[in-house]
Structure 1
Amino acid sequence: MYQEQKASLRETTSPPSGDETDIVPIEPTTALAHPPPPDGGFGWVQVAVGHLALFNTFGWFNSYGLFQDYYTSELNLPLSVVSWTGSVQVFLLAAISMFTGRLFDAGYFRSLIAMGSLMQLIAIFTASIASEYWQLFLAQGICGGLGAGLLYCPIISCVATYFSRKRALAIALVTSGGATGGTIFPVIAQQLSDKIGFPWTMRVMGFVVLFNAVLMLMFARTRLPPRSSGPVVEWAAFKELSYSLYTAGAFSLLMAVYLIYNYINHYGRVVLGMDETASLNTLLIANAVGVPGRILPSLLSDAYLGPFRTLVPLTMASGVLYFGWIGVRDPSSLYVFAVLSGIVNGGVQTISMAGLPCLTTDMTKVGTRTGMIITVGSFAALTGPPIAGALIDAAGGRYLYMQIWAGCMMLLSGCFVAASWCAMK
């Protein structure tokens, strides 16, 4: 039986059977106070809300390649410098997750959505009028990252409380918002930047974010009552071997999983000599195929394997693909690589998040414990892209060092996740 079913059993008082001796049921009083998730109903509305939230956050982040390419050409800055804005966005999103997770548990879900959306809008519209890199860094990197951080962990935690048997599918549909946004934003840039200029193109993207934010505020609701007391950090969680190993796996994963979205179009334009439109298409494709790449593994996870046994081969495949990137020598091969890596890395992002609630026995703490792992991973998200950029610069513009390093990080992540699954048995 897969891990989501184990999570469902944890929320009830039913004892485990067969080889599920690793399940530790919670106290009966807790189970009675919080009935099992409905696995549907109004939960699907929250999935739609989550999809829009990920559209606005990771859809924007997954499009950073188009901003990075524009900034390097317009501001004449090296990749290792410009990539800091993108990595700081993801870092701040993840770094504050242990605080936003605790605030979600305390009942501030809609307030977090409102404040996070407001900060995102301020970031986009101020970045559109910035003329120097430090201004872009403060707007897009700092303000945008904090705004996204107020949304991300609460959204994932909220959806997790509505689902048990179908949790991986629900989270897949939520995280597909990152692929949807990562497709729509580059299309907007591709169609409008030559006609109205890049600043106004960013403002158009801002109006799209505003529309999504209004819908989110209209329909966002939590299922469980607030947990008013409790620490921001539950240090005892790290005494659980499976939790600590999964944290290490998430850290390694976040070092490399987003590099494809940061660098693939730059690789096409600078290394392979593709024109700007063709190179941007590779980023668009990598994001677009992430939708089926997220949903198909989640169906497999829900039906047969569970998130841990699904994530291990996905991370291993991602590592192999990064090594395979070394052999990409022409545009046709890059398009193939964009499809394969977009599918696999989309699955990695989704299933890694679906695995987090399975590490929590008491769902009233899901925000806190999920946020703790995301916060630890934030330091990987901060340093990963700049390390990649520095390796490219150190190699004189060649990608070899970066490709080897990224492949090793993904393989290491798979080893940690496999060890975490073994520790749960």
Structure 2
Amino acid sequence: MTSSTIQSQEDHDNDLTVTAPPYTGDVDLEKAITRTSMINKQSSKKICPYDKNDLPPHHLEKIYTDETSTTDSSSRSISPDDIPDGGYGWVITVAGFLGYFVMYGVTNLWGLFSQAYATSVLEGKATTLELITIGSLIFVSINMFSPLSSLLVSRIGTRFTYGLGGFLMCLAVILAGFSTEVWHLYLTQGLLFGFGGSFLYMAVTSVIPQWFTARRGTAMGISSAGSGIGALALSPMVNFLIIEYGLPWAYRILGFFLLGICAIGTILIKDRLPRSQRKNLPVKSPFQLSMFKDVNFVIWLFGSVISLMGYLPPLFYLPKYAAEIGINQTDASNLLAILSAMNAVGRIGLGFVADKVGRLNMFIIVSVLSGAFSFVIWQFAISYNILLVFCILWGATSGLYYALAAPITVCIVGSHNISGGLSILFITSAIAAMGTPISAAIQQITPNNGYFGIQMFSGAVYVLGAMICIYLKYRLTGSLLAKY
């Protein structure tokens, strides 16, 4: 029997057999058949799916087809590197928007709350410095508890962390309604609200990079715009509740209203990778001291934190400043709402532009502009109309840190160090909350308790932070005009 007859018979019986070399008369036929059988057995043990380009010419193509057809598609894993840059990510962005709506919407209104406390429940019981410091404590708590929050996100998941943070914040608002002493507010709206906010903040900032790459700045801009929209919507609402029902009941009604918003966000948010895959990923320490060896990262910390110190004083002092120049409580509330609305518009619009021109570039530009507006406009805002101009211009540029901080940090430290980088950034950002008590101290030594010192301080730290970031950009790109 010839080799071609044997080959034809075997092909008929089993079409999975690799074709043996033609018989030339010098090859032992029995060894050739045995070798072919061994090749078939070894090929059948390969793990699917195959890369066809890596297989030898005589590969068993039918094995690949049969095995993949019987594999349950639900058991296929999602690649950690296959980021959709959209899709359900936009729903995640909405959940982030709702989270920022509650967290920073309430925080940005502290100037309104403190002015109401100073003229009602705590009149004669607390100084301006004591009341303003409560707002700073919220920011300190949000940032200082971020490493714990980051660890909880890594081990338990985004949805649980988001929901827990939302519940604690709403509980803090409700409990603050029972406050009769200033230290009650330190524990509730200051510490507890900030503690819950840190969980929600880390949940949002950690989950958005899972869904976006090229559009990350836009997504973070939309999410962080919730803080401006939150203050815009809540400012007239809180002012109405205080006038109609008093400060304690205004807090309680607000707390239950915000609880419903947090519940919606908790339902919408989720991690991109399923829990079965996340638990197999290595969990890094949320605080890595080795990252301080990265000089560029350290420079970014200095620049961003110094710039951020200028954000809180105008925000918290606006209602008090408006009262000083003769603007009534309702108009002051409207000015704060307009400032917050422009803050939201700036975060979305400028966040989108930042993806085009470079996120660090945009951060530098808006920091310089915010400082200039404090220098040139705020000190001359002695009427409603001029103060309105300041609220529009400064509001549009001042809060872009919250949209760009995370994407810029990822660009500097790399996506593999995002958890450690953001944890360190948030902890050091707590230093920026010192901008408010520093401003209060400056006001005390200013003649007639004027606001000139506060205005100059806010503008100076914005510009100084921008100059540090310009130096960072030159180190990273070697050019002042490059996109980064």
1:9 paired residue number = none
Q: Classify 1:295/1:229 alpha carbon distance in 2 versus 1 (closer, same or farther; 3 Å).
A: closer
Judge conservation of contact 1:105–1:368 (CA < 8 Å) in 2: no
The one-character-per-residue Cα deviations of 1:12-37 (angstroms, maximum 9, x if unpaired) are xxxxxxxxxxxxxxxxxxxx952242
- Higher mean Cα deviation, 189-198 or 85-94? 189-198
1:402 and 2:454 equivalent? yes
Q: Which of 204, 208, 229 in structure 1 is aligned with 2:283?
A: 229
1:258 and 2:312 equivalent? yes
Q: Which of 391, 416, 425 in structure 1 is aligned with 2:442?
A: 391
2:205 paired residue number = 156
Judge conservation of contact 1:125–1:203 (CA < 8 Å) in 2: yes
> Map of 1:71-220 to 2, 5 A cutoff?
71-74=117-120, 75=122, 76=124, 77-220=126-269
Rg: which structure is higher?
2
The one-character-per-residue Cα deviations of 1:27-70 (angstroms, maximum 9, x if unpaired) are xxxxx952242110111111011001101111111111111111
Judge conservation of contact 1:95–1:379 (CA < 8 Å) in 2: no
- Per the TM alignment, residue 228 of structure 1 is displaced from its structure 2 partner at its CA by 4.2
The one-character-per-residue Cα deviations of 1:67-93 (angstroms, maximum 9, x if unpaired) are 111122222333211111100001010
- Hey, what's the Cα distance between the residues in 2 that align with 1:412 and 1:98? 28
1:267 and 2:341 equivalent? no
- Hey, what's the Cα distance between the residues in 2 that align with 1:385 and 1:297? 26
Judge conservation of contact 1:55–1:178 (CA < 8 Å) in 2: yes
1:328 and 2:381 equivalent? yes
Judge conservation of contact 1:93–1:148 (CA < 8 Å) in 2: yes
Judge conservation of contact 2:224–2:403 (CA < 8 Å) in 1: yes
1:18 paired residue number = none
- Hey, what's the Cα distance between the residues in 2 that align with 1:421 and 1:222? 33
The one-letter code of the counterpart of 2:289 is W
- Hey, what's the Cα distance between the residues in 1 that align with 2:238 and 2:362? 35
- Hey, what's the Cα distance between the residues in 2 that align with 1:192 and 1:99? 35
Judge conservation of contact 1:392–1:399 (CA < 8 Å) in 2: yes
Judge conservation of contact 1:154–1:367 (CA < 8 Å) in 2: no
The one-letter code of the counterpart of 1:291 is A
The one-letter code of the counterpart of 2:473 is W
1:245 and 2:296 equivalent? no
Judge conservation of contact 2:236–2:333 (CA < 8 Å) in 1: no
1:355 and 2:408 equivalent? yes
- Hey, what's the Cα distance between the residues in 2 that align with 1:209 and 1:359? 35
The one-letter code of the counterpart of 2:230 is G
Judge conservation of contact 2:129–2:437 (CA < 8 Å) in 1: yes
1:294 and 2:340 equivalent? no
1:40 alignment partner, SS class:
coil
- Per the TM alignment, residue 105 of structure 1 is displaced from its structure 2 partner at its CA by 3.1
- Hey, what's the Cα distance between the residues in 2 that align with 1:306 and 1:265? 35
Under a length normalisation based on structure 2, what TM-score does the superposition of the two structures give? 0.77
1:307 paired residue number = 359
- Hey, what's the Cα distance between the residues in 2 that align with 1:157 and 1:330? 43
Flag structure 1 segments of 5+ consecutive residues without an equivalent.
Answer: 1-31
Judge conservation of contact 1:158–1:222 (CA < 8 Å) in 2: yes
1:106 alignment partner, SS class:
helix
- Hey, what's the Cα distance between the residues in 1 that align with 2:118 and 2:168? 25
1:44 and 2:94 equivalent? no
The one-letter code of the counterpart of 2:250 is T
The one-letter code of the counterpart of 1:267 is Y
Under a length normalisation based on structure 1, what TM-score does the superposition of the two structures give? 0.88
Aligned-residue Cα RMSD (Å) equals: 1.7
Judge conservation of contact 2:157–2:271 (CA < 8 Å) in 1: no
- Hey, what's the Cα distance between the residues in 2 that align with 1:421 and 1:358? 12
- Hey, what's the Cα distance between the residues in 1 that align with 2:294 and 2:475? 9
The share of aligned pairs that are identical, in percent, is 23
- Hey, what's the Cα distance between the residues in 2 that align with 1:348 and 1:266? 25
Q: Which of 50, 53, 70 in structure 1 is aligned with 2:116?
A: 70
1:233 alignment partner, SS class:
coil
- Hey, what's the Cα distance between the residues in 2 that align with 1:248 and 1:262? 23
1:27 paired residue number = none
The one-character-per-residue Cα deviations of 1:296-321 (angstroms, maximum 9, x if unpaired) are 11121112x11101110100111111
Judge conservation of contact 1:62–1:182 (CA < 8 Å) in 2: yes
1:13 paired residue number = none
1:256 alignment partner, SS class:
coil
- Hey, what's the Cα distance between the residues in 2 that align with 1:351 and 1:232? 20
- Hey, what's the Cα distance between the residues in 2 that align with 1:393 and 1:117? 37
- Hey, what's the Cα distance between the residues in 1 that align with 2:414 and 2:406? 16
Give the structure, 1 or 2, with the largest relative contact order (CA under 8 Å, sep 6 or more).
1
Judge conservation of contact 1:180–1:287 (CA < 8 Å) in 2: yes
Judge conservation of contact 1:188–1:201 (CA < 8 Å) in 2: no
- Hey, what's the Cα distance between the residues in 2 that align with 1:283 and 1:232? 36
Judge conservation of contact 1:98–1:369 (CA < 8 Å) in 2: no
- Hey, what's the Cα distance between the residues in 2 that align with 1:205 and 1:414? 37
1:281 paired residue number = 334
The one-character-per-residue Cα deviations of 1:129-165 (angstroms, maximum 9, x if unpaired) are 1111111111110111111111112211211221111
- Higher mean Cα deviation, 171-180 or 157-166? 157-166
- Hey, what's the Cα distance between the residues in 2 that align with 1:133 and 1:92? 17
- Hey, what's the Cα distance between the residues in 1 that align with 2:443 and 2:186? 21
The one-character-per-residue Cα deviations of 1:361-414 (angstroms, maximum 9, x if unpaired) are 234x42332121111111222x11111122122223201111111111111111
Judge conservation of contact 1:99–1:368 (CA < 8 Å) in 2: no
